[in-house]
Structure 1
Amino acid sequence: MKLCAAQLGSLKGDVAANVRRHLACIEQAANVGAAVIVFPELSLTGYEPSIARQAALPLCSPHLDPLQAASDRLGIIVAAGLPLPTPNGIQIGMPIFTPSAPRQAYAKQRLHEDELPYFYAGASTSLIQAAQHRIAPAICYESMFMAHAASAKERGADIYLVSVAKTAKGVGEGHAHYPQVARELGLIVLMANCVGPADHFVAAGGSAAWDSEGRLLGCLDPHSEGMLLLDTEAGTASIMPLDAPA
């Protein structure tokens, strides 16, 4: 099976423009045979906690219909990023669009202290089924705790799908931690980070893939948009330039 990590810079709060960019990435990923594509944390609005309440959309929003339509038409699972409203507060969500199936969402379970004024933690533990694989979603900060990945492994996951918004320091820490996750738990790890301005920092790319023995298969650079295509059967990852419009 092939999975794709899209390394994007999102336009702050502009869901319509970000959806268009996502659609171009989805099309490109499907054209090279990807069954799953994952985007960075809060990719549809940008990682911008201060505007999350105003930018939040429910999973049923018609603004998201084009993503479901692309999933249906191209036969690809899409894991994007979006603030999701709940009765308890706004969650850092990962809407999941599966071909010809109801929309689902995963929400970040462990929040960084900087996120607590803006977001409410999720409790979902569902896995994504794709071909013979069971994929566990993870969003940024929580993915740096081995217990989160261990719980996914206990529930039968064999792929850890990580969506992040990380600085250069955070990318470095991730590149040290995720191979350990892979080795200790026998999980394939695919991480998608953003690039460019986000909140009060600059995101530093470095989207990457590791096999279940912790070997780095491929990595994008810190500055450029692009896509990383992971082939789980061949145990390889290839870098693709991004065709998405600005």
Structure 2
Amino acid sequence: MRNFTIATAQIGSARGDVSGNLVAHADAVAAAASCDVSVLVFPELSLTGYEPDLAASLTFAADDARLDSLRRLAIQHRITLIVGAPIRNGADKPAIGAFILTPDGDIRTYLKMHLGANEIAHFSHGARPLTLDVDGQRLGISICADSSRESHPKTYADLGAQVYAAGVFLTREWYVDDAPRLQKYATKFGMLAVMANQGASTGTYESVGQSAIWAPGGHLLVQADGVESALLTATLAKSGWQGNLVRM
């Protein structure tokens, strides 16, 4: 069995440009494949950009043909992809969600359970946590404001997760609260905490970047420099977790 490696793809997303954003995703998958990555985590709403006002018009479903190219890449490179998008939720409003595209060709969905104040008018809540087992590691899936409730990572810790994987969109203002929380959870629950933030983005909000990964115990393994396009990796070696940054 290969060593488990998880990576964050800090890429920029253009407002509402799904086709262009898919190209950026494909480039990140290619970079991840060269690093033998097991799981690649993309930022919140990475396929559309973090644009709450556009979500209803850009909503995805699990059988959406727009996912076909990423599904093929997941199969080809044997990588599990966690991709951000507005997802149909059977309600009046879509959910902020993540598609999990597996090397077996399956597509699972996680819907954000806890919304930010600016999201309530545009999105509905998800109801259930989602764990994912890859290469001997159990992941708990999270999206941004989910981490504002300590009960969220605790639920995953109780379910045996070793990794808390969060796709986020954070401005400079939001970052100062959210990043320390993830580090705290790495310390308190003994999990690897993975935070994939958007890079240089065009749209309503300005991302601060600075994606990061914290080892169990809270030690910072690796962090992006601002909004650079980068792949951050954490590999579980015999000596423990090892971090690395690959600029794209």
Normalised by the shorter chain, which TM-score bucket? Answer: over 0.9
Alpha-carbon shift at residue 199 of structure 1 (Å) = 5.1
Q: Which residue of 2 aligns with 1:220?
A: 224
Matched, 1:22 2:47: no
**Structure 1 unaligned runs (5+)?**
none
- Structure 2 CA distance, aligned partners of 1:14 and 1:241? 23
Letter in 2 for 1:174: D
Q: Which residue of 2 aligns with 1:241?
A: 247
Percentage of pairs with the same residue: 28
Q: Which residue of 1 aligns with 2:55?
A: 52
Matched, 1:131 2:124: no
- Give the one of 78, 98, 103 matched to 1:99: 103
- The 8 Å contact of residues 3 and 35 in structure 1, kept in 2 or not, is answered as yes
- Range with bigger deviation, 71-80 or 99-108: 99-108
- Give the one of 33, 37, 49 matched to 2:36: 33
Matched, 1:8 2:11: yes
Matched, 1:182 2:186: yes
Alpha-carbon shift at residue 174 of structure 1 (Å) = 2.5
Pair 1:164–1:241, CA change in 2 (3 A): same
**Structure 2 unaligned runs (5+)?**
none
Q: Secondary structure at the match of 2:151?
A: helix
Letter in 2 for 1:15: V
Matched, 1:142 2:140: no
Letter in 2 for 1:237: G
- The 8 Å contact of residues 14 and 203 in structure 2, kept in 1 or not, is answered as no
Q: Secondary structure at the match of 1:203?
A: coil
Matched, 1:86 2:89: yes
The alignment covers a number of residue pairs equal to 242
Letter in 1 for 2:85: L
Deviations 1:27-67 (A, max 9, x none): 11011110000000000000000000001111111110011
- Structure 2 CA distance, aligned partners of 1:197 and 1:27? 21
Alpha-carbon shift at residue 12 of structure 1 (Å) = 1.1
Alpha-carbon shift at residue 191 of structure 1 (Å) = 0.5
Q: Secondary structure at the match of 1:157?
A: coil
TM-score of the superposed pair, with normalisation by structure 1: 0.95
Alpha-carbon shift at residue 172 of structure 1 (Å) = 2.3
Deviations 1:150-173 (A, max 9, x none): 011111111000100001122222
Q: CA RMSD in A?
A: 1.2
Q: Secondary structure at the match of 1:20?
A: helix
